[in-house]
C-alpha cells in the first residue's frame, strides 16, 4: 500500500480538528450558525498555516447534505466527495498556473449555471494574488454581483498584491503563524496516535525549524522518521537539521556564568571541529538566555523541552539578571553582524568575548549573581531584595503591593529593542512600564499623559509581537495611570537632555570658543547646540 505523507494523512477534516487560528474559526462558526454567510472569503497567511484546509472545511460546511452548519457530518456523499477531491461543485484553481485572462473568463463562464447536485457552487482559488490585472478585472464583476448559488473562497500568501477593489468585496481572514508549543503539541499527538517513539526535545527542534508552518513541521517529521528508522529522537533531529548538540550550548553558557574566558574560548574551539552554523548557534544561545531570564523573573515558569529545569534554575541562580540581558542582546547583535566578520568562526568567537568584555565590574571583580525578585501581580517581592535593587512599590487595586525593580524597567526597554514594531505601536510600548508577568499574560501601565497612544489595534499588534518574542500566545492588560518606574520614552528623553547639557557644558569650556568670545565678543546661542542621542 502506498505511503501517505503525514501532512495529507493528518489534514484536519473539521474545525474541531484544527490547530490554532481560533479567531478565524470562531468567526466562521458564528456566521454559519446565524446563516449570515458572505459570498466571498479571503484567507491570507504564510505557507502551511491552514488557508486551503480552512477553505475546504468551509466548503463541506456549506454543502453538507445534513444542512449548513459549523460541524459537517463527514459521512454524506458531498462531504466524502470534497475530502476525496472529486466534488463537481467544488472547483479548485491554482492561480499560479492560470494567470491569463482567458483562463479566468473560461472559469467564470459556468458561474451562471446552478450546481450539479450540491447546495452551492464553490470556487476555491489558491494563490489568487498571482492572477494578472486583466484576470482580476474579469473576476471583479462576478465578485460584485454573484449569483445566489455561488461562493468564492480565495487564498493567498501575499494579500498586498490584490487590488483594493477585490479586497473590498471579500471578508478577509488573516491566519497567524503557529507558535512553537502549538506545533510541538500537534506533532506529539500525531506520533502518539501513530504509536511511534519520540523525544520531546526532537519535536521542539522541528517546531522551531518549521517557522510557524505546521505543514513544514509535518514534512520535517516525515523526513526525521525516515532518517531515524521510525523514531523521532533528538540526536537524529539535530543531525538532520544541522543543529549543534545542546551540550555545546550548555558548556558555553556555563563558562559565561562563571566568567571564565579560557573555558569559553576552549568551548568555541571545540565547537569549530563540527563545522556548525554559527548563526544558528547564536540563536540557540539567545533562546537559552531568554529562558533563563524568564526563570529569574517568574520562578517556575513553564518552559520548553530543550533544557532541563535543573540547568535553567542553576544558570538563573549563578547569573546576574543584567548579565543575562547583556548576553541576549549581544547574541542577537552578533548574529546580525556575522556577515561582516572575516569569517563566521571569528565573528562567533568575538561575540563571546564581547559578552565578557562588556560585563560590568564592581571593585575590579565581576559582580556576583543576584537573584531577581519575581514580578507577579498581587504579590510583593522580598523586602531585602527590593531594597538592594532600589525597588519602587505601588499599591494595586486590591491593596496588595507589587514590587518593580529598576532592573525590570531596563528589561522592558531591552525587550522592546529586540522585537519588531511599527511606529505607532512602538510609541505605545515606549510609554508603558512592565508591572507584572504570569503565564499567558503581561500587565503594563501606560503613562496617563500619553493615553491617546492607546488603541485596540496597537494593543493587538503589541501582544502579537510579544507573543512571537516569548514563543507562546500572549495577552496583555494595559491600565493608564501614574507609572511607578521610568518608561523607555522617559529614559530616552532624559538621556537626550543629559547629553545636551553635557554638550553645552563642553562647549562653554572649549578653548576655541573661549578665544572667539575673548577676541571678537562672540556669544553662544544655547538653542543651537545639538547633541547626538545616546544609543
Cα–Cα distance, 377 to 297 (Å, whole number): 12
Tens digits of per-residue pLDDT, 241-283? 766 667 788 889 999 998 888 888 888 888 887 778 888 889 8
| Global confidence as pTM | 0.56
Helix runs in 358-508, H state only = 383-388, 406-417, 423-430, 456-470, 488-508
Q: Quick one: CATH architecture of 405-486?
A: 2-Layer Sandwich (3.30)
- Spans of the chain, pLDDT less than 70: 1-2, 98-100, 242-245, 302-305, 359-408, 410, 527, 529-535
Q: Which CATH number does the domain 246-359 belong to among 3.20.20.60, 1.20.272.10, 3.40.50.720, 2.40.50.100?
A: 1.20.272.10
Task: Please give the C-alpha separations between residue 248 and each of 225, 253, 269, 439, in angstroms, as whole numbers.
Answer: 25, 9, 11, 29
Q: Going by CATH, does the domain composed of 180-241 fall within 1.20.970.10?
A: no
pLDDT number for residue 64: 94
pLDDT number for residue 215: 92
Question: Would you list the domain boundaries of the chain?
Answer: 6-174, 180-241, 246-359, 405-486, 490-528
Give domain 6-174's CATH superfamily: P-loop containing nucleotide triphosphate hydrolases (3.40.50.300)
pLDDT number for residue 364: 39
Cα–Cα distance, 308 to 306 (Å, whole number): 7
Helix (H) or strand (E) holding 123: strand 121-126
pLDDT number for residue 373: 40
Long-range CB contact pairs, 305-309, < 8 A, 24+: 305/184, 305/200, 305/201, 305/203, 305/204, 306/201, 306/204, 306/205, 306/246, 307/246, 307/250
Cα–Cα distance, 409 to 432 (Å, whole number): 10
Sign, CA dihedral 460-462-463-465, equals: positive
Burial label for 222, CB within 10 Å (0-12, 13-18, 19+), is middle
Amino acid at each position: 500500500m502506498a505511503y501517505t505523507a503525514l501532512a495529507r494523512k493528518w489534514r484536519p477534516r473539521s474545525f474541531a480538528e484544527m490547530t490554532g487560528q481560533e479567531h478565524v474559526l470562531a468567526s466562521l462558526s458564528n456566521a454559519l450558525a446565524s446563516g449570515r454567510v458572505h459570498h466571498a472569503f479571503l484567507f491570507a497567511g504564510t505557507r502551511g498555516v491552514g488557508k486551503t484546509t480552512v477553505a475546504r472545511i468551509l466548503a463541506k460546511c456549506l454543502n453538507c447534505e445534513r444542512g449548513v452548519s459549523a460541524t459537517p457530518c463527514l459521512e454524506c456523499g458531498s462531504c466524502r466527495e470534497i475530502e476525496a477531491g472529486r466534488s463537481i461543485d467544488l472547483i479548485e484553481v491554482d492561480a499560479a498556473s492560470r494567470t491569463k485572462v482567458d483562463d479566468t473568463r473560461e472559469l467564470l463562464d459556468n458561474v451562471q449555471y446552478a450546481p450539479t447536485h450540491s447546495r452551492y457552487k464553490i470556487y476555491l482559488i489558491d494563490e489568487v494574488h498571482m492572477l494578472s490585472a486583466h484576470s482580476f478585472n474579469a473576476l471583479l464583476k462576478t465578485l460584485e454581483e454573484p449569483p445566489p448559488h455561488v461562493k468564492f473562497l480565495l487564498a493567498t500568501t501575499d494579500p498586498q498584491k490584490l487590488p483594493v477593489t477585490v479586497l473590498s468585496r471579500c471578508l478577509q481572514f488573516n491566519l497567524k503563524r503557529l507558535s512553537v508549543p502549538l506545533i510541538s503539541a500537534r506533532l506529539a499527538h500525531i506520533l502518539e496516535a501513530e504509536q511511534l517513539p519520540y523525544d520531546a526535545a526532537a519535536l521542539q527542534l522541528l517546531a522551531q525549524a518549521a517557522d510557524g508552518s505546521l505543514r513544514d513541521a509535518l514534512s520535517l517529521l516525515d523526513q526525521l522518521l525516515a532518517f531515524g528508522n521510525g523514531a523521532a529522537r533528538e540526536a537524529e533531529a539535530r543531525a538532520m537539521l544541522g543543529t549543534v548538540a545542546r551540550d555545546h550550548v550548555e558548556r558555553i553558557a556555563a563558562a559565561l556564568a562563571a566568567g571564565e574566558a579560557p573555558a569559553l574560548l576552549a568551548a568555541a574551539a571545540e565547537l569549530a571541529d563540527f563545522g556548525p552554523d554559527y548563526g544558528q548557534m547564536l540563536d540557540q544561545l539567545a533562546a537559552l538566555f531568554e529562558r533563563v531570564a524568564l526563570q529569574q523573573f517568574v520562578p517556575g515558569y513553564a518552559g520548553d523541552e530543550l533544557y532541563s529545569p535543573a540547568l535553567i534554575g542553576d544558570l538563573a541562580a549563578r547569573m546576574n539578571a543584567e548579565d543575562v540581558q547583556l548576553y541576549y542582546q549581544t547574541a542577537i547583535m552578533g548574529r546580525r553582524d556575522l556577515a561582516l566578520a572575516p569569517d563566521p568562526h571569528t565573528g562567533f568567537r568575538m561575540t563571546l568575548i564581547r559578552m565578557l568584555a562588556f560585563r560590568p565590574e564592581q571593585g575590579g571583580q565581576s559582580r556576583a549573581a543576584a537573584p531577581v525578585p519575581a514580578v507577579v501581580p498581587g504579590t510583593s517581592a522580598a523586602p531585602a531584595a527590593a531594597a538592594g535593587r532600589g525597588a519602587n512599590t505601588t499599591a494595586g487595586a486590591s491593596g496588595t503591593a507589587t514590587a518593580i525593580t529598576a532592573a525590570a524597567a531596563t528589561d522592558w526597554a531591552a525587550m522592546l529593542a529586540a522585537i519588531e514594531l511599527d511606529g505607532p505601536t512602538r510609541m505605545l510600548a515606549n510609554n508603558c512600564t512592565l508591572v507584572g508577568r504570569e503565564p499567558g499574560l503581561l500587565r503594563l501601565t501606560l503613562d496617563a499623559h500619553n493615553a491617546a497612544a492607546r488603541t485596540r489595534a496597537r494593543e493587538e499588534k503589541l501582544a502579537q509581537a510579544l507573543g512571537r518574542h516569548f514563543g507562546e500566545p500572549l495577552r496583555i492588560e494595559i491600565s493608564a495611570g501614574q507609572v511607578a518606574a521610568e518608561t523607555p520614552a522617559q529614559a530616552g528623553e532624559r538621556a537626550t537632555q543629559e547629553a545636551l547639557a553635557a554638550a553645552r557644558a563642553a562647549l562653554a569650556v572649549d578653548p576655541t570658543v573661549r578665544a572667539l568670545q575673548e577676541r571678537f565678543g562672540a556669544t553662544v546661542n544655547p538653542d543651537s547646540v545639538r547633541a547626538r542621542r545616546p544609543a
